Every structure is written in C-alpha cells, then in structure tokens.
C-alpha cells in the first residue's frame, strides 16, 4: 500500500522535532496527544512511532509505550566515532567522484547554513532558529557524501546523524550549537572544493572531536 501524504508529513515533522530538541529526553510520547496535534488517527501515530523506534529515535517497551531516548555519554561517543568514519570516508569518495554539480550543491548547502549561523550569531540566541539550523546543518553534512557513489553509506550516515543529533541537542547544550561551527563548516567546504582529501578528512575529525573528549566526570566537554 502506498504511504499517504499525511503519514509522510507527520513522520518527517516528528523526526525533525525529535532531532532538534522538540521533546525533552525521557519524555513519554502519547499517541492520544500527538493525534490531536497532527489531526490524524491514533493508529497512524503509533505506526509512525514504531517506525521512528526502528530508526533509533524513539524507545519502545511493552506496557510502557514510547519515550524519547535518554542522553548517554557512551552512546554519544560511539555515534560521534561512527559519524567521523562515515563522513571522512564518504567525503573523500565524493571529492574523487564528484564534479561541478556536486561542488555547486555543497556550496549552496553551505551558503544556506552559513546564513542561518550568521543570524544566530547576530541574535545571540540559538532557540528561535534551532529547528531551521538543525535542518540546514543536516543538509550540509549529507551533501558531503552526496557524490560518494554508495546509497548504503548515505542511508547509514543519515540514521547515525539523526541519532547523534538527538543525543547532543537540548536547551541545556544550546541545542548542540557551538560558535566554532561557522569556522569548522567553512574549513570543511574549502578543503573539499580544493580537492584536498587529507585536509578535508582532518577538518571533519576536528569538527566532531569535541564529542569524543570527556572531562574527569565522563561528561563531554564543549
């Protein structure tokens, strides 16, 4: 059966909210409340929540229902490692395979992201633009792999990226936004456009390394 437009829209919106800090970690996701928000049936909401649980963005337990996953230092560390592996390899392949079309896509994605990050800097607050920034940041990092030649690598990266963002994003962590992001993203773009694969890999590692570092309490350092 073909998926309805409503199901596609609700799935995408709920996914984006889960990634962008729209729900507190550990929050119970009640189908009867969500159905009212989205104007669809409870069965549709439950089906979507099951799909999101398969993507690792929702926890499900019998008799306890659906919840937003709790944050975990260990899981963030593992997801950061996987992002580094996938993005560095995928970017190197894109540099080798991608042409002017990929360069234009990457430049366009960075331009959008840079504009939003500049607005955040000017406003001095992330929250008003957090959801918009989250979508633009994902688009930029996905475009790094867009010419890698492997649909499986891109799909896997997308799943890991979403889980990673969910782990680092909430109001207490400034929605995962760091002032260094502007410089980091520009450095990755420049290395990619210069076709310097080794430097591009290093810039991706540098960008994500903060999520591998831990202080003496085992908490990620900014």
Instruction: Give the per-residue pLDDT at 173.
Output: 66
- Give the sign of the dihedral formed by CA 13, CA 17, CA 23, CA 26: positive
Instruction: Give the per-residue pLDDT at 217.
Output: 44
Q: Which CATH number fits domain 5-67: 2.40.110.20, 1.10.10.10, 3.40.50.300, 1.10.3720.10?
A: 1.10.10.10
pLDDT, mean of residues 110-133: 89
pLDDT band at 186 (very low <50, low <70, confident <90, very high): very high
Instruction: Give the per-residue pLDDT at 1.
Output: 32
Tell me the CATH number for domain 73-211. Answer: 1.20.120.530
CA dist 129 to 17, 43, 49, 177, 221, Å? 13, 32, 26, 11, 23
pLDDT, mean of residues 94-108: 98
Mean pLDDT value across the chain: 89
Q: Which residue has the higher pLDDT, 123 or 157?
A: 157
Kindly tell me if the per-residue pLDDT of 119 is higher than 50: yes
Domain extent listing, the chain: 5-67, 73-211
Closest residue by Cα to residue 203 from 157, 150, 140: 140
Instruction: Give the per-residue pLDDT at 6.
Output: 77
Strand partners of residue 65 = 61
Instruction: Give the per-residue pLDDT at 195.
Output: 98
pLDDT digits (tens, 9 = 90+) for 75-87: 999 999 999 999 9
Q: What is the DSSP string of the chain?
A: -PPPHHHHHHHHHHHHHHHTT-S-TT-EE-HHHHHHHHTS-HHHHHHHHHHHHHTTSSEEETTTEEEPPPP-HHHHHHHHHHHHHHHHHHHHHHHHH--HHHHHHHHHHHHHHHHHHHHHHHHT-SGGGHHHHHHHHHHHHHHHTTTSS-HHHHHHHHHHHHHHHHHH-SGGGGGG--TTHHHHHHHHHHHHHTT-HHHHHHHHHHHHGGGT-B-TTSPBP-
pLDDT, mean of residues 130-147: 94
Instruction: Give the per-residue pLDDT at 7.
Output: 79
pLDDT digits (tens, 9 = 90+) for 203-217: 999 999 988 855 434
């Amino acid at each position: 059966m073909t998926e309805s437009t409503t199901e596609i829209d609700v799935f995408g919106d709920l996914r984006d909210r889960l990634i962008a800090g729209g729900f507190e970690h550990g929050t119970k996701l009640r189908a009867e409340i969500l159905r009212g928000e989205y104007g669809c049936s409870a069965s549709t909401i439950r089906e979507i929540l099951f799909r999101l649980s398969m993507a690792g963005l929702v926890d499900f337990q019998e008799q306890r229902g659906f919840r937003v996953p709790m944050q975990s230092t260990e899981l963030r560390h593992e997801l950061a490692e996987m992002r580094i592996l996938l993005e560095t390899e995928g970017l190197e392949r894109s540099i080798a395979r991608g042409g002017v079309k990929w360069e234009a896509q990457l430049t366009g994605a960075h331009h959008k992201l840079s504009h939003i990050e500049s607005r955040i800097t000017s406003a001095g607050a992330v929250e008003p633009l957090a959801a918009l920034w989250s979508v633009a940041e994902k688009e930029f990092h996905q475009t790094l792999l867009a010419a890698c030649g492997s649909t499986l690598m891109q799909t896997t990266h997308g799943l890991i990226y979403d889980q990673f963002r969910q782990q680092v994003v909430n109001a207490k962590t400034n929605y995962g936004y760091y002032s260094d992001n502007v410089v980091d993203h520009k450095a990755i773009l420049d290395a990619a456009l210069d076709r310097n694969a080794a430097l591009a890999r290093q810039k991706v590692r540098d960008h994500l390394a903060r999520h591998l570092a831990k202080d003496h309490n085992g908490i990620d350092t900014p």
